[in-house]
Amino acid sequence: MIWRQALLIGALMLAAVIVELTLLCRLGLPGATPDLVVVTIVAIALAMGPTQGAVAGFAGGVLIDLAPPADTLLGVNAIVYIAIGYITGVAVDPRDRSVPILIGIVGLAAGAAVLATAALDTLLGSGRVSWEDVPGVALSSALYAVIMAPVVVLGVAWLVRRATPEVLVV
């Protein structure tokens, strides 16, 4: 069961990073590039739980940090994405999983990722953060995440149900 989860998390994160870096960044949308990686991390955390969300956050963060157009210090995205994966997996009660709440959580996570990455970059001494642009980038990232959320969250939930069926305990 664990190897299926690891394989699914790895495949989903690799696919999200590839789509974000090859397709979404070339759309030329105003503000931020749609952050499919954060949306996928939140979807995995909601479908599998906080531990798997943190693992997905680490995998996605390392892949984004190592990708060629990386503009942050190595490890910053991994740290931020681990926190997002774990917190969203813990904070959402399974009984409160209505569609508007899930979409709101995805939007909040995307906006928080932008703010946390900028804050951590600044704290670590990177001079590349323009704080005048951060609010607009955070809002546009949250908006794009809200638009992608229904498809990604439902798709990941469907894949998790198919790939990792529950083991019946007698």
Q: Domain limits of the chain?
A: 2-163
Q: Which of 137, 120, 110, 102 is nearest to 35 (CA)?
A: 110
Least confident range from 28-37, 109-118, 151-160: namely 28-37
pLDDT tier at 167 (50, 70, 90 boundaries)? Answer: very low
Rounded to 10 deg, the angle between the 99-123 and 134-163 helix axes is 130
Task: Answer whether residue 168 shows pLDDT above 70.
Answer: no
pLDDT tens per residue, range 135-147: 999 999 999 999 9
Q: pLDDT value at position 1?
A: 57
Residue identified by tokens 């704290």 is 123
Architecture of domain 2-163: Orthogonal Bundle (1.10)
Q: Which of 53, 55, 85, 80 is nearest to 65 (CA)?
A: 80
pLDDT tens per residue, range 43-93: 999 988 899 999 999 999 999 989 887 777 788 999 999 999 999 999 877
